[in-house]
Amino acid sequence: MHRTARHSAILTEITNTGSCSVADLARRLDVSGETIRRDIKRMASQGLLRKVHGGATLPGPLHEASFEQRMTENAAAKEAIARAAAAHIADGETLSFDTGTTTARVARALAGRRDLTVVTNSLDIARAMAGTSRVFMAGGELHAELGAGLGPAAVEFVSQFRVRTAFLSAGAIDAEDGLTDFDMAEARFSRALIEAAERVIVVADHSKFGKRALVRACEIEAIDMLITDAPPPPALAEKLDDAGVVVEVASVKP
């Protein structure tokens, strides 16, 4: 297939689905992954799509803003969610956290608790909790923009632990696709935390509802509780109810 035809086919696939992985595109177009990666790089330079880890998305809603920018978005909602999440944790519990702006706020809300044991790959969360908690920090490849260790080493590290509660963020939450993320390594790390926890609490504001990111992190059925700032839309609410997920809507201070 000529390059121009490939580019057209890639753009059609991403327009129809919102995002595609390199592996999926290579399989559908019957070319190598390296060819697809070159195509994505060229198309991204032309502004036709956005290159992300492991694939590509449309240049728009599926693009994840920087960590610092996301820390300031929906700040009041995230603070309310963090306070509600912290209320579910007692002194002496074992916890794990993925890397996210809302999970970072949960960690700060828990900074006054005593004798917590924390497993995380986030430098920000580790710093927030190190003063009063026992912290185990997952290594791996450091993603500087996130301030987090990711990759096989981080996954292997957390697999050694068994914790009471895992706090997860979400790039997007949809009734059909469950929890999705923008980065393959982040999604894999989240799955490792799920496997190592008795209880999984997702903390996410309403802006994540009804959207889909590039990589599936887990099904709705894998979580036990969703703490958010507004009721989910009907389709998602029905899916959560069918899966037995407890939904808690935090009260946002004006």
The CATH class given to the 3-57 domain equals: mainly alpha
The reported pLDDT for the residue numbered 139 is 86
- Supply the pTM of this predicted model: 0.74
Query: How many Cβ atoms are within 10 Å of 64's Cβ, its own excluded?
Result: 18
Q: What amino acid occupies position 202?
A: V
C-alpha distances (whole Å) from 171 to each of 67, 102, 164, 198 are 12, 11, 23, 22
Each of the 254 residues of the chain gets a pLDDT tens digit; together they read 788 889 888 988 887 677 788 988 999 899 999 999 999 998 888 777 888 878 888 765 444 444 445 445 668 899 999 999 999 999 999 999 999 899 999 999 998 888 999 999 999 999 989 988 999 999 888 877 778 888 999 999 999 999 999 999 998 999 999 999 888 889 999 999 999 999 999 999 998 998 888 788 999 999 999 999 999 999 999 999 999 999 999 988 76
**What distance in Å separates the CA atoms of residue 141 and residue 75, rounded to the nearest whole number?**
29
CA neighbor of 186 nearest in space, from 245, 141, 125, 129: 141
Count CB-CB contacts under 10 A for residue 248. Answer: 15
Would you state the pLDDT for residue 67? 44
- In this structure, what are the phi and psi dihedrals at residue 121, rounded to the nearest 5 degrees? -110, 5
| pLDDT score at 62 | 44
Alpha carbon separation from 97 to 104, 110, 136, 169, 170 (Å, rounded) = 8, 12, 11, 8, 12
Domain with CATH 3.40.50.1360 in the chain: 67-249
DSSP summary character for residue 161 = -
Looking at CATH, the fold of the domain delimited by 67-249 is given as Rossmann fold (3.40.50)
Q: Which residue has the tokens 């029905």?
A: 238
d(CA 247, CA 132): 29
Range(s) of the chain covered by CATH 1.10.10.10: 3-57
Q: Please give the pLDDT value at position 140.
A: 84
